[in-house]
Amino acid sequence: MTDKMEILNERLFAVDAHTLFGAFSNPDHLEQWWGPHGFTNRIHEFDFRPGGTWRITMTASNGTDFDNRLTFREIIPGERLAFLHHEPMHVYTMEIRFVPETDGTRMHWRMLFEATEENLQLKKFIAAANEQNFDRLEDLLQQLNKGR
């Protein structure tokens, strides 16, 4: 139980946990799928370790740039990833778990925001944007699988 606004998304991906985790730990891969449909990315800094900084500019289809700064809090390869998102607009924590199942790996996203009026109004949009993120990740994983 929490007094924060919580957004939960999950999806089963037809890959093992280390392959799925690799889509996060490899900035070249991450740059290709991060964000909702219509966004492109430029990663400026990616210090993938607890306490390390991740700086990414997400560009919307209309050309608007969103500079994001995040700090990795916990990294357990193939199991768990947590970070704090500092900016541009919404501060939140993200916890991602990778749970092996018979048909692949279930990825659980848990985002925690302050329960402000603005954040509460954005909750449905953010949950839908996360699903678009998952779609883009699934596309990348299929491309990588074809390249093997």
Q: What is the pLDDT of residues 42-100, one digit of tens each?
A: 999 999 999 999 999 999 999 999 999 999 999 999 999 999 999 766 789 999 999 99
Query: How far is Cα 109 from Cα 54, in angstroms, rounded to an integer?
Result: 18
From the CA atom positions of the chain, what is the Rg in Å?
15
Q: Can you give the pLDDT at residue 61?
A: 93
Residue 148 has pLDDT above 80, yes or no: no
% of the chain exceeding 70 in pLDDT: 96
| Closest to 136 measured CA to CA, from 144, 125, 124 | 144
pLDDT tens digit sequence for 117-138: 888 888 889 999 999 999 999 9
Q: Work out the percent of the chain whose per-residue pLDDT is above 90.
A: 81
At 2, is the pLDDT very low, low, confident or very high (cuts 50, 70, 90)?
Answer: low
The fold of 5-146 is Alpha-D-Glucose-1,6-Bisphosphate; Chain A, domain 4 (3.30.530)
What is the model's pLDDT at position 91? 87
- Write down the domain spans for the chain: 5-146
Contact indicator for 24, 30 with CB cutoff of 8 Å: yes
Rounded to whole angstroms, how far apart are CA atoms 57 and 59?
6
